[in-house]
């Protein structure tokens, strides 16, 4: 990547504009992360280090928002630390299946049903994070017994995971508000799991996503920021969404901007500010 290009500079510029212009089309920056604690991290990685048998297919709700590729047979090549940065900034497409969960709290989202959502039917045109909203709440975590490896969690069918891996080539990641993507159909298996079929295709999975407010299903961008922890198959991550704040068909676009050396800048010029009309196209 060109050294003159600084995303951070851009973000700083953007938040600057965001705070000082009263623009109805401003961009909302939404933190979708559930935090983790030092204690929970220590317990989890302590268990990993001691090679304790752990139930991964029910998820790890205590760890907060986490990211992984494959869970099992981790060789070191499929860890979150190897995900290219350009795949972590993506279009965010939200698939709200919470009405299905209301009817059946441990629903298996099948391929047939999923294809009713346009976001799952057609390959997106740009790198996309597919975020499944099952309507999971903190209280639902009581439906998970990690010790006994028993849980009632909605998830994806194996066929749907295969479809995403094979036919949605621009989907770089999938995310969910539940602690796991594994469903009743896949949870008992060691290799025929959602995380195997997606992870093998290089599609990362983010779990325990926090919906703190209503969000547009299209139009947002997502920035995932995993902890760059080496040799760990599962790491905490931050997930931030950038959304158009008004209810409209606007799409947020994030662009990189070349940094201009201070000495060649025009003094007090506003030309270096980000033009929101250009961002929201």
Ligand X SMILES: *[C@@H]1O[C@H](CO)[C@@H](O)[C@H](O)[C@H]1NC(C)=O
**Which residues of the chain form contacts with ligand X (CB under 6 A)?**
162-163, 166-167
Using the minimum distance from each CB to ligand X, give the nearer residue, 168 or 215: 168
Using the minimum distance from each CB to ligand X, give the nearer residue, 136 or 163: 163
Contact between 180 and 150 under an 8 Å Cβ cutoff? The reply is no
Using the minimum distance from each CB to ligand X, give the nearer residue, 158 or 204: 158
Tell me the torsion sign for CA atoms 147, 204, 94, 101.
negative
Q: Looking at the chain, list the stretches that DSSP marks H as alpha helix, in order from N- to C-terminal side.
A: 7-20, 38-49, 98-103, 111-114, 118-121, 158-167, 194-200, 276-279
Please report the DSSP string for 227-272 in residue order: ---TT-SEEEEEEEEEEESSSSS--B-----BPPPGGGSPTT-STT
Residue 218 Cβ vs ligand X, minimum distance, rounded to whole Å? 22
Label residue 214 exposed, middle or buried (CB < 10 Å: 0-12, 13-18, 19+): exposed
Using the minimum distance from each CB to ligand X, give the nearer residue, 37 or 167: 167
Residue 166 Cβ vs ligand X, minimum distance, rounded to whole Å? 4
Residue 167 Cβ vs ligand X, minimum distance, rounded to whole Å? 4
Using the minimum distance from each CB to ligand X, give the nearer residue, 196 or 237: 196
Residue 257 Cβ vs ligand X, minimum distance, rounded to whole Å? 38
Residue 162 Cβ vs ligand X, minimum distance, rounded to whole Å? 4
Q: Measured at CB, which residue is nearest to ligand X?
A: 166
């Amino acid at each position: 990547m060109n050294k003159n290009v600084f995303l951070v500079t851009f973000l700083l510029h953007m938040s600057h504009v965001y705070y000082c212009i009263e623009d109805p089309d401003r961009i909302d920056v939404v933190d979708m992360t559930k935090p983790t604690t030092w204690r929970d991290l220590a317990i989890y990685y302590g268990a990993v280090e001691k090679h304790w048998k752990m139930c991964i297919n029910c998820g790890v709700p205590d760890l907060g928002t986490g990211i992984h590729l494959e869970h099992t047979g981790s060789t070191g090549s499929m860890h979150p630390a190897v995900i290219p940065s350009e795949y972590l900034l993506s279009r965010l497409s939200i698939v709200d299946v919470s009405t299905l969960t209301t009817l059946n709290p441990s629903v298996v989202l099948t391929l047939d049903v999923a294809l009713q959502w346009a976001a799952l039917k057609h390959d997106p045109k740009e790198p996309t994070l597919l975020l499944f909203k099952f309507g999971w709440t903190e209280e639902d975590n009581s439906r998970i017994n990690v010790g006994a490896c028993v849980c009632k969690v909605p998830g994806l069918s194996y066929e749907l995971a295969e479809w995403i891996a094979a036919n949605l080539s621009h989907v770089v990641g999938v995310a969910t508000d539940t602690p796991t993507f594994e469903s009743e159909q896949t949870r008992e298996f060691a290799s025929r799991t959602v995380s195997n079929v997606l992870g093998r295709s290089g599609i990362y999975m983010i779990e325990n996503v926090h919906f703190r407010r209503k969000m547009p299903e299209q139009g947002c961008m997502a920035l995932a920021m995993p902890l760059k922890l080496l040799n760990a198959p599962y790491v905490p991550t931050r997930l931030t969404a950038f959304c158009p704040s008004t209810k409209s068909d606007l799409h947020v676009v994030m662009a990189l901007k070349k940094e201009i050396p201070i000495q060649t800048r025009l003094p007090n010029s506003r030309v270096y500010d980000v033009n929101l009309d250009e961002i929201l196209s």
